[in-house]
Amino acid sequence: MTRFLTPHAATLPSVVPFTGPEALERQMGQTFRARLGANESLFGPSPAAIAAMKEAVEGVWMYADPESHELKQALARHHGVTPQHIVVGGGIDGLLGLLCRLTLEQGVPVVTSLGAYPTFNFHVTGFGGQLLRVPYRGAHEDPQALLDTARQTGARLIYLANPDNPMGSHHTGAVIEDMVAHLPDHSLLVLDEAYADLAPEGTIPTIHPDHPQVIRLRTFSKGYGMAGARVGYAIARPELAQAFDKVRDHFGMNRVAQIGALAALADQGWLADVQRRVRAARDRVSRIAEANGLRALPSATNFVTVDCGRDGDHARAVLRETVARGVFIRMPGVAPLDRCIRISLGDDAALDVLEEVLPQAIAAAG
């Protein structure tokens, strides 16, 4: 059957970038006691969003508005831009795929960080781009190294997540603004702000929405607690935003999810409460880690990255033993970041399980 594939597609591996908790549960033959690996919000979506989605289910026989008109209008008001600056899509992952389809050809260089969010790499490779990876600087992506590599190679895209996944670190808005001021003329900055709603004050840069070399990506998956609804959006200069209409699935958005996102955006009180609970959970996970002789890294996200103090093999052993005891967590996959495990934040019940299991897992890891 591969004779029907393009030569490039035939060379690609058939892989899923993430092993989901469901796949692990099928392998183990049991369900997890605590799901703390996918950076979902265990605090859930706004009750107003849940009510809106329940009511919308009766109308699911209709296609969603292919222009996402109401959601674009609301997002534009929220961010102080025009609806023409907004692109709505199936999560940031879906938007990254569309962006790569729009901008990349075989062999076009793209710069990212070694160990950064892998779905971007998946799309770059899928559309024939040449991935160039620069190391982290400590627990942070290195804006200057990204810029230097882009300048040297003529890279068309530069990918940076701020706050960062998988390390949970962040740069101040001033650092990102300085990076934008020094972008080479041939590069578009892909600024992934998935965790922006949970970041400390001063993290989000001021960038004019008409900037011709920046596209910013946001989601309802994290702070708004709607990961399963798959609603993401981009803020970009109108000419770039409109270009998504050339390639996107015009009926690809879920009608119920659209309506839920609109209600979630209107309930900023719920988001503020989630932000408070996330801060409290960060503190508790940090205390649990430190009580077990591990070092919790500062987090600007809804997860805490924990340095296990040794090498990747040891961290993988801690992860394996934690998962075997019913707690789903993940870890960075590239050295030297793989000395760490990554624990999503959850409610008290989930963190009670973590507190019970982690010392057992560390002891078993040796």
pLDDT for the residue numbered 17 = 78
> DSSP states of 291-335 as a string?
HTT-EEPP-SSSEEEEE-SS-HHHHHHHHHHHHHTTEE-B---ST
Q: Which residues make Cβ contacts (< 8 Å) with residue 16, sequence separation at least 6?
A: none
Give which of 201, 228, 264 is closest to 49, Cα–Cα.
Answer: 264
| Per-residue model confidence (pLDDT) at position 98 | 98
Q: Does residue 16 carry a pLDDT above 90?
A: no
> Model confidence over 72-113: pLDDT tens digits?
999 999 999 999 999 999 999 999 999 999 999 999 999 999
pLDDT tier, 3 (very low <50, low <70, confident <90, very high otherwise)? confident
Amino acid type, 359: P
Q: Which residue has the tokens 């609603």?
A: 231
Can you tell me the distance from the alpha carbon of 340 to that of 81, in angstroms, rounded to the nearest whole number?
Answer: 39
Residue 15: pLDDT band by 50, 70, 90 thresholds?
A: confident
Its CATH class, for the domain covering 19-44+269-365, is: alpha beta
Give residue 333's pLDDT.
92
Q: Which two tokens stand for residue 295?
A: 């070092």
141: nearest Cα among 119, 162, 120, 118 = 162
pLDDT > 70 fraction of the chain, expressed in percent and rounded: 100
**343 - beta bridge partners?**
304
Whether residue 1 has pLDDT greater than 80: no
d(CA 236, CA 84): 9
Residue 177 is encoded by which pair of tokens? 């603004």
Q: Choose which CATH entry (3.40.640.10, 3.40.50.300, 3.90.550.10, 3.90.1150.10) describes domain 47-266.
A: 3.40.640.10
Inform me whether the pLDDT recorded for 19 exceeds 90: no
Gap between the Cα atoms of 219 and 233, Å rounded: 6
Q: Which long-range contacts (CB under 8 A, 24 or more apart) does 353-358 make?
A: 353/33, 353/34, 353/326, 353/327, 354/34, 354/36, 354/285, 354/288, 354/327, 355/288, 357/33, 357/34, 357/322, 357/325, 357/326, 357/327, 358/288, 358/289, 358/292, 358/322, 358/327
Region(s) of the chain under CATH 3.90.1150.10: 19-44+269-365
What is the pLDDT at residue 174? 98
Q: How far apart are CA 363 and CA 289, in angstroms?
A: 14
Where does the chain hold its CATH 3.40.640.10 domain(s)?
47-266
The single-letter DSSP state of residue 58 is G
- DSSP characters for 223-248? TT--GGG--EEEE--HHHHHHGGGTS
Burial 152-182 (b: 16+ CB within 10 A, else e): ebebbbbbbbbbbbbbbbbbebebbeebbee
- Asked whether the predicted pLDDT for residue 282 surpasses 90, the reply is yes
pLDDT in tens, 110-142: 999 999 999 999 999 999 999 999 999 999 999
Q: Which of 339, 357, 331, 248 is nearest to 37 (CA)?
A: 331
The pLDDT, as a whole number, for residue 160 is 98
The pLDDT tens digits for 222-245 are 999 999 999 999 999 999 999 999
Contact in structure between 314 and 18 (CB atoms under 8 Å):
no
- Cβ distance 170 to 178 under 8 Å? no
pLDDT of residue 95: 98
Q: What is the mean pLDDT of residues 280-304?
A: 98
pLDDT-based confidence at 43, cuts 50/70/90?
very high
Q: According to the model, what pLDDT value does residue 18 have? A: 84
